[in-house]
Homo-oligomer: A and B are copies of this chain.
Amino acid sequence: MTDDTSDRRSAEVIEDESMVRDEPSARLAAYRRSIDNFDAALIHILAERFRTTKAVGEYKATHELPPADPAREEKQIARLRALASESGLDPEFSEKFLRFVIDEVIHHHERIREAGSRGQ
């Protein structure tokens, strides 16, 4: 690692890095603009998903169906893990994500049911 070739290579690397260092905020800012757009899309889809699960919750409360449905959840998890694998997302994370969302939904369903009981 002390011959001329590696010394030249080190100098090149340092030069490249200093070039990159001149525009770090521009590159990071571009990534962050993309992330902000993805987050806005995620929030709006989640809003619509919760509007739909709210309708499901009201429907379940009216028909005295339990808030949770383990058989349905197992199917959803298997499907999302497959979609995650296809799209390069960690399947473990996709499962954690769905459980995180479903926990919130079940919490909402319980509140709808309790509000219904109090209303009667």
A residues with a Cβ closer than 8 A to B are: 17, 20-21, 24, 27-28, 31-32, 34-36, 38-53, 55-56, 59, 62-63, 65, 72, 76, 79-80, 83-84, 87-90, 93-94, 97-98, 100, 104
Contacts and interface: CB of A to CB of B under 8 A. Distances in A.
A39 B80 contact: yes
- Majority SS at the chain A contact face: helix
A92 to B, nearest CB: 10
A109 to B, nearest CB: 12
A31 B50 contact: no
B83 A40 contact: yes
B20 A35 contact: no
A31 B51 CA distance: 10
